[in-house]
Amino acid sequence: MTITNVRNILFISIGVILSANVSAAKPTGGKVTYATQDALDAESSKRLAVDENLRSAIESETTARGVADTALQGAIDAEGVARSKADSIESSARSAAISGEATARKGADDLEKTTREKAISNEKTAREAADSSESSTRLVADAALAVMVNNEKSARIAADSDLAQQILNIPAPVFYEVGGAGPAGGIVFYTDELGVHGLEAMREKIIPMFSSHYVWGELGVRVAVSSNGIGAGQNNTVAMVISSPVATSDAAKGCASAQANYTKIYAGYERYGDWYLPSGDELEKLRTSDVIDFSSGFYWTSNQASVDTAYAMGGLGNSVNLVERDKNAIGTGTWCIRSF
């Protein structure tokens, strides 16, 4: 609704109000006196004056309102123009921002594309270089491996040749039999099943010294090792030599030092320094082999019985006994043996 329409409605309302006031002032009865008529006329004149003043005030207000409406309309129009300009500026700014963003995005996309292409190119170059380096390394490694294989092959051929030569140089085994000569020239009294290894004893009549009368050892001295069995006499002899006083000439020392006292015990045979006093079992093997005559006396074993006594074997005729004798007893023979 415009300002003019509002003003017309206001004038119509005021006219209606004034007409009602005039009608209300007229008397409704019969006669009217002159005094009453004068009062009514005065009241009517007064009301007309008031109404005129009200009309003037309304017209002034209407005029003022028209000016205000005009000013308001001017302000509205100005605001519309300003808003239109602002919208235009905002639209231009938005268009510029969108264009700038599109340009920036395109630049970023182009940069990312260029960076990716460069990275892919660099990776390709690096891979090609790595492949080339790996290929060169493999070639070098293959060449080195080939050299190693050839060297190993040559070494194996040489080792096989040396082994074959060593096999050819291995002397043929010597077979021994009971009653024959041993490696050191003694008399063989025991062999294994093949006849390659066994025991040999000194020949008493060739070296009488070793069948003479040695004492076994000192009284009151206990030997740390004193075992029985085939092969035990060697360890027993070592223990006897260790526990024996230096000045004592006992049977163990006599056997152990046999090679030191003679260049060769038997002419034509190798020199060996491992003769020893036999254990009881070894001396029994010697006795039962029938290569040595045990009927003439007793012979020391390397087995002690106590700190003061040791075992000796022998007897008269066919009677053979294992007896205890004092370690310093005189009259007991010594028969040295060795293993091979």
Query: For residue 299, is it within any domain?
Result: yes
pLDDT at residue 5, as a whole number: 59
Tens digit of each residue's pLDDT, the chain (340 residues)? 555 554 565 555 555 444 544 444 444 454 546 678 888 888 889 989 888 888 888 888 888 888 888 888 988 888 888 888 888 888 888 888 888 888 888 888 888 898 888 888 889 888 888 888 888 888 898 889 989 888 988 888 888 888 878 877 787 889 999 999 999 889 999 999 999 999 999 886 445 455 456 889 989 989 988 899 999 999 999 999 888 876 566 888 888 877 655 555 676 777 788 899 999 999 999 988 988 877 777 889 999 999 999 999 986 656 678 899 999 888 888 889 999 9
Which pLDDT belongs to residue 25?
A: 45
Backbone dihedral region for residue 207 (phi beyond 0: left; psi -120 to 50: alpha; all else: beta)? beta
Taking the mean position of all CA atoms in its chain, how far away is CA 328?
A: 69
pLDDT at residue number 80: 85
Please give the residue range of the domain that contains residue 37: 3-95
pLDDT of residue 95: 82
Q: 191 with 292, same domain?
A: yes
- Write out pLDDT tens, residues 213-238: 688 998 998 998 889 999 999 999 99
pLDDT of residue 114: 86
**Within-domain flag for 232:** yes
Q: How far apart are the first and last CA of the chain?
A: 147
Count the domains in the chain: 2
Location of structure tokens 């008529």 = 37
pLDDT of residue 9: 57
Q: Is 201 left (phi over 0), alpha (psi -120 to 50) or beta?
A: beta
| 8-state DSSP, 176 | -
Per-residue pLDDT at 310? 95
- Give the predicted TM-score (pTM) of the model: 0.50
Dihedral angle, C-alpha 203, 207, 209, 215, nearest 10 °: -10
Select from 95, 116, 138 the last residue of a domain. 95
What's residue 182's pLDDT? 93
Question: Rounded CA gap, 276 and 211, in Å?
Answer: 13
pLDDT at 197: 96
Is residue 141 in a domain?
no
For residue 211, being part of any structural domain is answered with: yes
Nearest to 249 by CA among 327, 168, 138: 327
- CA distances in angstroms from 238 to 252, 275, 329, listed in the order given: 8, 11, 21
The whole-angstrom separation of Cα 3 and Cα 67 is 11
The pairing of beta strand 337-339 with beta strand 319-326: unpaired
Q: How far is CA 2 from CA 36, 61, 71, 135, in A?
A: 46, 16, 14, 95
Establish if 136 belongs to a structural domain.
Answer: no
State residue 173's pLDDT score. 86
How far apart, in Å, are the Cα atoms of 117 and each of 103, 125, 126, 129, 211?
21, 12, 14, 18, 106
End position of a domain, from candidates 42, 74, 95: 95
Residue 185 has which token pair?
Answer: 């020239």
Question: Which of 95, 122, 156 is the endpoint of a domain?
Answer: 95
Inside any domain, residue 162? no
According to DSSP, residue 332 is labeled -
Q: Are residues 91 and 191 in the same domain?
A: no
Tokens of 86: 């602002």
Residue identified by tokens 């085994």 is: 173
- Res 206: pLDDT: 45
Angle at 181 between CA 291 and CA 210, to 5 degrees: 65
H-only helix segments in 186-321: 232-243, 251-256, 258-261, 280-288
What pLDDT score was predicted for residue 131? 83
Same domain, 204 and 323: yes
Q: What is the pLDDT of residue 14?
A: 53
Residue 111 lies in a domain: no
Residue 218 tokens, joined: 């000192």
C-alpha to C-alpha distance for 201 and 207, rounded to whole angstroms: 12
Q: Which two tokens stand for residue 237?
A: 């002899």
Q: Is 147 within a domain? A: no
DSSP designation for 309? E
